[in-house]
């Protein structure tokens, strides 16, 4: 069976338009900062590069990645004899795209049953993501089963059940405080017996610094392998967009312990830019596969780097498809030209 992509294309475009609109609501947005740099600094001098570095860090890209991006950009500007800040920023966007593209972001639903384990620190949005993913997979005609293996947090099982009810997905659960491994074992056995397509495993949130809890996750994985030797087919780390540099530490430790196959970036509906994904992808090569925004059951989609960057640079570079500029324009400085009005169009080139 070849890998299939569970999310259909047309739905995605409208969704990303919505997303760039939401990202624009930011009062102190990334694009506003970038525009400050473009408009107020006309020359590509030291202060321009320094400011650009800060803007990237301000989007949570992390200093090492920001420095690498800026260094590469400087070389390129020199080699291609660019003179305007706008040209340079266009090149920056291309650099960022080069970091993000070139990765397989499809959710690999390759076996029956396919086992997807969701891991992450406390409060990152694992249960919610599973609720949304179950709904999406069900509506595409797949049989889904949820293993409620967060037996630690109070009422986590209740929360999982309420989410599952919305998509009429069955949940396998034990008593609170039970052994998460046992839950997974039961769920997988049930899945095999019933010919389920996808099993989604919800795990308890844990900080990556807790050695024993990380060991528990490895045990859960090993238990899964006893029933299905190739499980888990997907191990997804859920990271919330407002997370700063710690996201990189999280990704590194979870990756070392479990071998991550993807990242889910949640809560991209605030004003945060989730720039840590750039750092994680460059650092570990683990692709962002899904993004979540909002609390609605439909607010989950595949990650599209091009659209993500369009939204990020919306209002700065007239990328096709970017929604009208930020709600609050940058304070106009005397003598500074007006920002370029973004053109409307389709979300994709």
Partner 1 sequence: MFESLSDRLGDIFKSLSGRGRLTKEEVELGMREVRLALLEADVNFKVARALVDRIRERAVGADVLESLTPGQQIVKIVNEELVALLGGEHRKLRYQSQPPTVVMLIGLQGSGKTTTCAKLALATRRDGHRPLLVAADTQRPAAPQQLEKLGKDNQIPVAMPDGKSKPPDLCKRGLEEARRLNCDVVILDTAGRLQIDQPMLAELREIRKKVTVHDTVLVVDAMTGQEAVNVAREFDQQVGVDGVILTKLDGDARGGAALSMKESMGKPILYTGVGEKVSELEPFQPERMASRILGMGDILTLVERAQSQMDQKTAEVTAKKMLAGRFTMNDWLEQMRQLRNMGPLEGILGMIPGGRQMIKNAGSMMPTEKDLSRMEAIVLSMTAHERIHPEVLKSQRRRRVAAGSGTTLADVNKLLKGFEQMQSVMKSVGGKGSKGVRGRARMLRQLQGMDPAQLGLPRP
Nearby residues of 203 by Cβ (< 8 Å), 6 or more positions away: 117, 118, 119, 126, 149, 150, 180, 217, 220
Which of 82, 182, 246, 340 binds partner 1 (CB under 8 A)? It is: 246
Number of residues binding to partner 1, judged by CB under 8 A: 48
211 binds partner 1 (CB under 8 A): yes
240 binds partner 1 (CB under 8 A): yes
Q: Which stretch binds partner 1 (CB under 8 A): 3-11, 54-62, 296-304, 331-339?
A: 54-62
C-alpha span between 313 and 35 (Å, rounded): 9
C-alpha span between 175 and 112 (Å, rounded): 27
**145, β-bridge pairs:** 170, 199
Edge-to-edge order in the sheet of strand 234-240: 170-172, 144-149, 198-203, 114-120, 234-240, 262-266, 288-292, 300-302
Cβ distance to partner 1 smaller for residue 109 or 300:
300
Please classify residue 225 by burial: count the beta carbons closer than 10 Å to its beta carbon, then call 0-12 exposed, 13-18 middle and 19+ buried. middle
CA distance to 71, 73, 110, 221, per residue, from 143 (Å): 49, 47, 14, 22
267 binds partner 1 (CB under 8 A): yes
C-alpha span between 258 and 264 (Å, rounded): 15
Which of 3, 123, 259, 345 binds partner 1 (CB under 8 A)? It is: 123
110 binds partner 1 (CB under 8 A): no
Which of 57, 110, 182, 190 binds partner 1 (CB under 8 A)? It is: 57
178 binds partner 1 (CB under 8 A): no
Which of 62, 180, 315, 321 binds partner 1 (CB under 8 A)? It is: 62
Shortest separation between residue 42's beta carbon and partner 1, angstroms: 22
User: Angle at the Cα of 113 (from 130 to 165), degrees rounded to 5?
Assistant: 35
Cβ distance to partner 1 smaller for residue 101 or 295:
295
Q: Which of residues 271-300 bind partner 1 (CB under 8 A)?
A: 271-272, 276, 295
Shortest separation between residue 289's beta carbon and partner 1, angstroms: 20
Shortest separation between residue 138's beta carbon and partner 1, angstroms: 17
The DSSP 8-state label assigned to residue 323 in this structure reads P
C-alpha span between 109 and 1 (Å, rounded): 9
**235, β-bridge pairs:** 117
Which of 36, 60, 197, 304 binds partner 1 (CB under 8 A)? It is: 60
Shortest separation between residue 132's beta carbon and partner 1, angstroms: 12
C-alpha span between 306 and 244 (Å, rounded): 22
C-alpha span between 261 and 182 (Å, rounded): 23
Q: Which stretch binds partner 1 (CB under 8 A): 91-99, 149-157, 223-231, 308-316?
A: 149-157
Which of 70, 247, 265, 323 binds partner 1 (CB under 8 A)? It is: 247
CA distance to 92, 150, 245, 290, 341, per residue, from 88 (Å): 6, 48, 26, 30, 18
Cβ distance to partner 1 smaller for residue 189 or 246:
246
Shortest separation between residue 243's beta carbon and partner 1, angstroms: 5
Cβ distance to partner 1 smaller for residue 188 or 241:
241
> Residues 27, 52: contact at Cβ < 8 Å?
no
Q: Furthest-apart CA pair in the chain: how many Å?
A: 72
Which of 106, 179, 182, 242 binds partner 1 (CB under 8 A)? It is: 242
Cβ distance to partner 1 smaller for residue 153 or 174:
153
Residue ranges binding partner 1 (CB under 8 A): 25-28, 54, 57-60, 62-63, 121-125, 152-156, 158-159, 161-163, 176, 207-211, 240-247, 249, 267, 269-272, 276, 295
């Amino acid at each position: 069976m070849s890998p299939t992509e569970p999310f259909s294309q047309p739905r995605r475009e409208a969704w990303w338009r919505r997303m760039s609109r939401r990202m624009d609501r930011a009062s102190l947005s990334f694009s506003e900062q970038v525009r400050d740099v473009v408009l107020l600094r006309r020359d590509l001098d030291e202060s321009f590069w320094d400011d650009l570095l800060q803007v990237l860090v301000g989007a949570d890209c992390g200093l090492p990645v920001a420095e690498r991006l800026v260094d590469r950009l400087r070389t390129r500007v020199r080699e291609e004899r660019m003179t305007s800040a706008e040209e340079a920023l266009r090149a920056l966007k291309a650099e960022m795209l080069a970091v993000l593209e070139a990765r397989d972001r499809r959710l690999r639903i390759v076996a029956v049953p396919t086992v997807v384990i969701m891991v992450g620190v406390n409060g990152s949005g694992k249960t919610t993501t599973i609720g949304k993913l179950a709904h999406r997979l069900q509506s595409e005609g797949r049989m889904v089963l949820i293993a409620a293996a967060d037996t630690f947090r109070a009422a986590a099982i209740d929360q999982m059940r309420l989410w599952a009810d919305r998509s009429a997905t069955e949940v396998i659960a034990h008593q609170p405080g039970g052994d998460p491994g046992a839950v997974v074992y039961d769920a997988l056995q049930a899945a095999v017996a019933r010919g389920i397509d996808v099993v989604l495993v919800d795990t308890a949130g844990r900080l990556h610094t807790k050695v024993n809890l990380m060991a528990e996750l490895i045990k859960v994985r090993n238990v899964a392998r006893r029933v299905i030797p190739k499980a888990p087919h997907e191990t997804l780390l859920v990271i919330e967009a407002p997370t700063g540099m710690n996201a990189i530490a999280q990704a590194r430790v979870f990756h070392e312990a479990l071998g991550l196959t993807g990242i889910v970036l949640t809560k991209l509906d605030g004003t945060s830019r989730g720039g840590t994904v750039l750092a994680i992808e460059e650092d570990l090569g683990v692709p962002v596969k899904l993004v979540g925004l909002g609390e609605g059951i439909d607010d989950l989609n595949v990650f599209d780097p091009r659209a993500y960057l369009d939204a990020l640079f919306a209002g700065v570079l007239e990328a096709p498809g970017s929604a009208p500029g930020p709600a609050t324009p940058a304070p106009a400085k005397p003598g500074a030209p007006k920002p370029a009005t973004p053109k409307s169009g389709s979300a994709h080139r």
